[in-house]
Amino acid sequence: MAEKEGKKRKRQSNGVDVSSKKVALGADKGSNIKVTFSDNRQNGADPVFVSAPGLTAPPIAFKPYAKSTSGKHTNALPKPTTHDLLLQSSQHPQLDYTATSSSIDQHQSHYLAVYDPASKELQITSAHHLSLRSIPRKISEESKEAKARSFAQQREQLGREFGTKKAKKAIASKTENAIVKGGKNGVQSGAQNAVLESVADSAAAAPNQEQVEQDLLASKPIPKPNLAAESAEQVYAFNTLIPQAEARLVPVKDWQEKARAKEEIMFSHRYPAHRVAAVGCTDNILKLKALSYLNLLMDFHDALQNAGRGGKKVPKKEVLSKKLAAWPGTLVDLVRRRFSNPQNELPKWHQDNLYTHMAALTLYVDDWSTNTTDLKDDLKMENRQIVQFFNELGCKVGGMTEKDRERLGVGKAVAGTMRMAKLKLPLEFPKPRAGRKR
């Protein structure tokens, strides 16, 4: 089709092509990573992942054996998609080790990724996955142990081979009861010693109670605490509560100018309204950013919609942008991705994660001792609910003392209904509840 007459064309550039794409905020120039996938290896076979459940394998060499799954791949290099791989070693004095592919991996693929920070290249290649097992080595008749057997043991061997059913049963019962090492008549073989030593090594490598508690704490929906902190201020650092990419976008200049000029600032929530005047007049920008970020989380919480079964969901983009029009769009999007799942929903774990971050921010603003009443009223919760979130952070929650009441200027009648959450060392996290006994 011919072009319409009079249609304007774009002016030729001066030799410089300018991209029409917007630059992502927070991204450094040259931060792109080159990803390559290597499927046809020319220098050797693919790498191998070996899992050893219940075993601690010694540092020994393995011999590889490969078998093609079809005749057309017989002379080709072994690949996870075309060959079955087996690793075998007999270098251990008493045990034979064999690594074979598991039946669970028939419909799974495994890959190895190696990242080079100098060239910013990520190379991905396919890999085999094998499961390691050990079996006691059979002792030959010519071995030293066979030559050193006593006359009674030789009679037992003859009884196993040529004895009556009653005799065989008696010998088998005696053998089962003679496993105890150092018994009067029981002699433990080297293979049994090796198996028991392997079990002992695995038990020694198992995580201790402290490691189990740390792993359990890491899976909770709370900000990651610094368990090695020497003071309450080091437990939840500012960068832990607000990532650096989000902290740069949090607006505070307008609040600071109005607070110093003693101008009125309108809020929808009680907590920031009661503290912006005192925090804004100081030079503590981090504390002011924490208060502003907390106000954003409260607005984000108010914009959520019910999703059934106690869950929440993020409204559509245009609806969310309208409700949070006072905040930078990029910052709102970062908050949405941080506290919701990929389906833009907030199940119970994600909601608890949002609430505990709010609670931790109030501790940061109030110097690690905060009155929970304002946050409770802003989130429309009961005392037991808000107390639980502060307990999850390791706080001690109790009634308001006389010193707290005088410092906050609260009357005696009102102070009896309020709770104070204080973060002190050593931290005390709630113990996991045990299941009900049947």
Q: Within this chain, do residues 331 and 403 fall inside the same structural domain, yes or no?
A: yes
7 class by beta-carbon count within 10 Å (0-12 exposed, 13-18 middle, 19+ buried): exposed
Let me know if residue 11 belongs to a domain. Answer: no
Q: Report the percent of the chain where pLDDT is more than 90.
A: 38
**pLDDT score of 44:** 65
Residue 160, domain member (yes or no): yes
In a domain, 4, yes or no: no
Q: How far apart are CA 49 and CA 40, in angstroms?
A: 18
**15 belongs to a structural domain:** no
Contacts of 48 (CB under 8 A, 6+ apart): 85, 87, 99, 127, 128, 129, 130
279-302 pLDDT, tens digit per residue, is 999 889 999 999 999 999 999 999
Domain that holds residue 159: 145-200
Secondary structure of residue 262 in the 3-state scheme:
coil
Whether residue 18 lies inside any domain: the answer is no
Q: What is the pLDDT of residues 79-129, one digit of tens each?
A: 777 778 888 888 787 788 888 877 666 667 888 888 888 888 888 888 888
User: Nearest to residue 292, comparing CAs of 349, 342, 343, 238?
Assistant: 238
- Helix (H) or strand (E) segment spanning residue 126: strand 121-136
Q: Is the domain of 45 the same as that of 162?
A: no
**Same domain membership, residue 155 and residue 49:** no
289 shares a domain with 408: yes
DSSP state of 316: P
Assess contact for 291 and 276: CB atoms under 8 A.
yes
Taking a C-beta distance cutoff of 8 angstroms, is the pair 162, 170 a contact?
no
Query: Is 168 within the bounds of a domain?
Result: yes
Same domain? For 65 and 174 the reply is no
Shared domain for 303 and 349, answered yes or no, is yes
* Integer Cα distance of 410 and 421 in angstroms: 16
Q: How confident is the model over 336-359, as a mean pLDDT? A: 94
289 and 411 co-located in one domain: yes
Residue 257: is its pLDDT beyond 80? Answer: yes
Domain final position from 136, 160, 188 = 136
User: Is residue 227 a part of any domain in this protein?
Assistant: no
The last residue of one of the domains, among 80, 102, 136, is 136
pLDDT band for position 355 (50/70/90)?
very high
CA-CA-CA-CA dihedral for 305, 311, 314, 315, to nearest 10: -30
Q: Are residues 255 and 395 in the same domain?
A: yes
Same domain, 132 and 149: no
Structural domain count of the chain: 3
Rg over alpha carbons for the chain, rounded to the nearest Å, is: 34
- Higher-confidence residue of 390 and 40: namely 390
320: CB partners within 8 A, 6+ apart: 303, 314, 332, 336
Q: Supply the pLDDT for residue 25.
A: 44
418 and 336 assigned to the same domain? yes
CB contact at 8 A, 394 and 428: yes
357 in helix, strand or coil?
helix
pTM: 0.56
Angle among Cα 312, 315, 317 to the nearest 5 degrees reads 145
For residue 192, pLDDT beyond 70: no
Residue 183 binned pLDDT confidence (cut-offs 50, 70, 90): very low
122 with 163, same domain?
Answer: no
Q: Does 173 lie in the same domain as 43?
A: no
pLDDT tens digits, one per residue of 364-414 = 999 999 999 999 999 999 999 999 999 999 999 999 888 988 888 888 888
Place of tokens 């000029």: 261
Q: Rounded to whole angstroms, how far apart are CA atoms 321 and 327?
A: 9
Q: Which amino acid is at 228?
A: A
User: Does any domain span residue 218?
Assistant: no
Last residue of a domain, one of 136, 153, 177: 136
Where does the pLDDT of residue 185 fall: very low under 50, low under 70, confident under 90, or very high at 90 and above?
Answer: very low
